[in-house]
Homo-oligomer: A and B are copies of this chain.
Amino acid sequence: DDIWTVVDEHHLEGTYPFEDFRDALEFTYDVGELAEDEWHHPDIHLEWGEVTIEMWTHKIDGLHKTDFVMAARMDRIHEEYAPE
């Protein structure tokens, strides 16, 4: 996985590429639905052709297994948008 990095031993940050704004928007919505389902809410930065996620577990102000599970699920969602 070359999307995610651990920043300051505190949070995950990952940037997903997209072909255009529309795909980035739909992915953002998908991630938002996942966040609501799991009640685990990342920050999501949407711009043309790119979505950047910042995620950590607020209760412990750091990283928990949940964050890595969520990251893997976002990777799988992103595969649906892959240009190849």
Contact = CB atoms under 8 A, between A and B. Distances in A.
Number of copies of this protein chain within its complex: 2
Interface string A47-62: 1100000000000000
Contacts of A82: none
A2 B2 CA distance: 40
Interface residues of A, number: 16
Contact of A46 (B22, B32, B48): B32
A68 interface: no
A33 B29 CA distance: 12
A45 B48 contact: no
Contact of A25 (B21, B22, B32, B48): B32
Given A28-B29, A29-B29, A41-B47, 6 more contacts: A21-B32, A21-B35, A25-B32, A44-B45, A44-B47, A45-B46
